[in-house]
Structure 1
């Protein structure tokens, strides 16, 4: 069997004295690293922290990966959608997971002052292109070689060996897809790589596996069993532990009662197959860096996370999942299983929130004119992290924030029924609490009406303008019902002209949260 091993090249240049470089004065922006030729990310950490260098580097890498996802959504996916092409599933492994994209060939520059350790992570587009083109060619070659072995095993009636070989291809197909996505962003192309004619598609491999294993899937439990079996075969002979995350509906980041049920069924089946150890999610953890999901998994005593999406395809549902090492981004296992929607309907569980269309419209409205500044960095998370957030009736949500400088914090919450409330307005984080975890006072209990909800957190160096509200039982609700006007009023600013040399000292983060009945 062939394995693709590519070392992560990390070059570090430290500056300890002298004038601060331009990328410190205007975080992440440098004449030496123009966006046309480089992809960059800026991170910082308190110089008083003994792990300041590592935390700042982690934050810079997270910012760099985030810039790729932002570029992917704003320039590539949007153009494809304008052309009427549905690319959501193709890009989902990158756009739906913060642990997914960890670039090869990142270089690091460091500047230290009395208060902070500043780090700039950067990668040259031409070098990324060369590296990832080589990786793509190697992956295609390795996939083709394993397919040849699998076909030989099948012809020799070694069905179990053939199935194992085909299953080993799933992580490689995922790696190939991510490689092609990086190349798409590097070249700023609005097209999806066409399937290489030298190898079959991943779906064709999945169909071959289904034929060889002849697994009968007539219930949600059967689907969970098939997923657990396929994962167990791919990680056989290794040890470890992983966290099972609720799957989300297509590319919406929204979950459902079905997702909660399937998560529990998966945990049961994984334990039956005795593949690794299923970890329990830590509560109230304090992430050290901006890589929230990675730190949550580690705090839970695990090294990997199993996550994915499910896609409606006519009268069937396709479940796509992947087991990923959160430290290096490596895909340890990947699966693709389909089942009839009728089998889900028997459980009486919905596969998407009832208010999904309204929630999607709200997400779109709040994404327009979004104000993001590199001058102020904001991390926001709950006691369940930041991704695949699913809260059941009666569960308590806690909110945490962290900024790299003094800032005014505003938290707007959009409920499933369309109402909007200011959970907190003008919560001030002073300079002494910069780069530290700040827990927003109070606990928030999950109650009806249930569905897809959204939390918007705005951080501003200056005081935010007043928002008109009315009070019901001590809760401040927004007067404004229109989503676009509510978004504009909550920010108090509009998106700055990209040609301007100054950056608005304000930024925001949004979390998608699904609430369900018990």
Structure 2
């Protein structure tokens, strides 16, 4: 039985208490591309405001879901936006604005509609006698509740009051798991997760452990099995749909969830399955460095007046690469400034400065972004995945002030050809690098961005 449950949401940052305008700016070869790129920048701006959300949900049968959920730009529903597109001789420049006074009523209206849908689906599943029919309705209900939660999060950040979902997501997941038998093999789990998905092509992402951005061997195997059961594509397109996964490690097994997200950020389907421990015996499934992960990605404050971003040709979420694939790295500042990048490899326990140009001395590690290149993605080069494999964690430090005199102390390593940061551990290297960042004061702006990806043998 699904009971009504008050969803507890704790927002780490204070919601906007007054009318606010969030903006995004971007270039594109066509009007449509410029609009989509500007929307992605606006979504990133909103992520800065939201940062993260904590949920704790429990059902009558004791199933608990208490995990950190980080919203990604492709997940956020953006309502009430205004566009201005300018033709700049061969390319287009777009500015998109979201005014909270205009947008908030639209979110309230959508929340009311979703709440009505949730009530109707919940009533339907209670009346259904056939297990197969009830299961399908429950998966629809789960997708609707997840959509409600995402809209509610944005509405709260725009200054609205937190709305209460008629049904908690954890309760729905618990009901689904009570119907679906525990999967004895990974193949059966993949069958369950891809059953009756909308017929379209998907970029399939590796499922990540809750609270971590590090892919595991279990992540790779499940991603490949899921991709083999849908129309999968590796080429990212503005209209791409995604299959995004995550899993929680419990005493009785792993609970693995996948959701189908369309190009508008809407969750169109959601699936969940529990695997028996025997299904993943001898497969590495625990992330190796949770403490480091949290320090790197959560240990700094972001601001919208001076922003830095990191990305790859495959996006920035759930990144897992294998031999033969090519990774291209990109960086972007929203205003003129300087930046450098430290890579922290938790597998080799080394941190090193990335060489960003051919200049002599310290200038080789510092890149300057002029006014013409602000709000544009700048390629930092591409490389082919090869051994040694592991998890690379990039930490970009940016400032409106020249950073050549603010680099961490390094020593050149003859064996690797890298400039190794002098620190006791990779955690110490993150802290030292962050400590060198110029303090924000009048006339000086600073920012930070992080990105993690895992490389793994086939």
Q: Secondary structure at the match of 1:462?
A: coil
Q: Answer yes or no: is the 8 Å Cα contact 2:339–2:368 preserved in 1.
A: yes
Structure 1 residues 412 and 323: alpha-carbon distance in aligned structure 2, compared to 1, 3 A threshold:
same
The CA RMSD over aligned residues, in Å, is: 3.7
Q: Answer yes or no: is the 8 Å Cα contact 2:328–2:380 preserved in 1.
A: yes
What residue is the counterpart of 1:6 in the other structure? none
- Which of the numbers 118, 121, 129 marks the counterpart of 1:143? 118
Structure 1 residues 73 and 371: alpha-carbon distance in aligned structure 2, compared to 1, 3 A threshold:
closer
Structure 1 residues 396 and 63: alpha-carbon distance in aligned structure 2, compared to 1, 3 A threshold:
closer
Q: Answer yes or no: is the 8 Å Cα contact 1:411–1:455 preserved in 2.
A: yes
* Deviation string, structure 1 residues 227-269 (Cα, Å, up to 9, x no partner): 111xx1x53xxx4211111111113222111000001111223
Q: Answer yes or no: is the 8 Å Cα contact 1:373–1:505 preserved in 2.
A: no
- Which of the numbers 250, 275, 280 marks the counterpart of 1:344? 280
Give ranges in structure 2 of 5+ residues lacking alignment: 1-14, 56-63, 356-364
Q: Which residues of 2 match residues 503-518 of structure 1 at below 5 A?
A: 504-518=444-458
What residue is the counterpart of 1:318 in the other structure? 255
CA drift at 1:386? 1.3
What residue is the counterpart of 1:471 in the other structure? 412
Number of aligned residues: 422
Report which of the two has the higher share of strand: 2
Matched, 1:104 2:79: yes
Matched, 1:480 2:440: no
CA drift at 1:393? 5.5
Separation in structure 2 between the aligned mates of residue 143 and residue 491 of structure 1, nearest angstrom: 48
Which ranges of 4 or more aligned residues in structure 1 deviate by more than 6 Å?
109-116
Give ranges in structure 1 of 5+ residues lacking alignment: 1-33, 79-85, 271-276, 283-295
Q: Answer yes or no: is the 8 Å Cα contact 1:321–1:335 preserved in 2.
A: yes
CA drift at 1:487? 4.4
Q: Secondary structure at the match of 2:23?
A: strand
- Which of the numbers 50, 55, 67 marks the counterpart of 1:72? 50
CA drift at 1:124? 1.8
- Which of the numbers 240, 255, 275 marks the counterpart of 2:215? 255
CA drift at 1:510? 0.7
Report which of the two has the higher share of helix: 1
Q: Secondary structure at the match of 2:72?
A: coil
Q: Answer yes or no: is the 8 Å Cα contact 1:402–1:434 preserved in 2.
A: yes
- Which of the numbers 251, 254, 278 marks the counterpart of 2:232? 278
Q: Answer yes or no: is the 8 Å Cα contact 2:395–2:451 preserved in 1.
A: yes
What residue is the counterpart of 1:221 in the other structure? 187
TM-score (norm 2): 0.78
CA drift at 1:421? 0.4
CA drift at 1:109? 6.3
Separation in structure 2 between the aligned mates of residue 380 and residue 193 of structure 1, nearest angstrom: 33
TM-score (norm 1): 0.70
CA drift at 1:439? 2.8
What residue is the counterpart of 2:149 in the other structure? 177
Q: Which residues of 2 match residues 56-455 of structure 1 at below 5 A?
A: 57-73=35-51, 77=54, 89=67, 92=69, 95-108=70-83, 117=93, 119-124=95-100, 128-154=103-129, 158-187=130-159, 196=166, 199=167, 201-210=168-177, 215=181, 217-229=183-195, 232=196, 235=198, 239-270=199-230, 277-279=231-233, 281-282=234-235, 296-298=236-238, 303-326=240-263, 328-345=264-281, 348-354=282-288, 356-360=289-293, 362-363=295-296, 367-370=298-301, 372=303, 374-375=305-306, 377-392=307-322, 395-403=325-333, 406-416=336-346, 417-424=348-355, 425-429=365-369, 433-434=373-374, 436-441=376-381, 443=383, 445-448=385-388, 450=390, 452-455=391-394
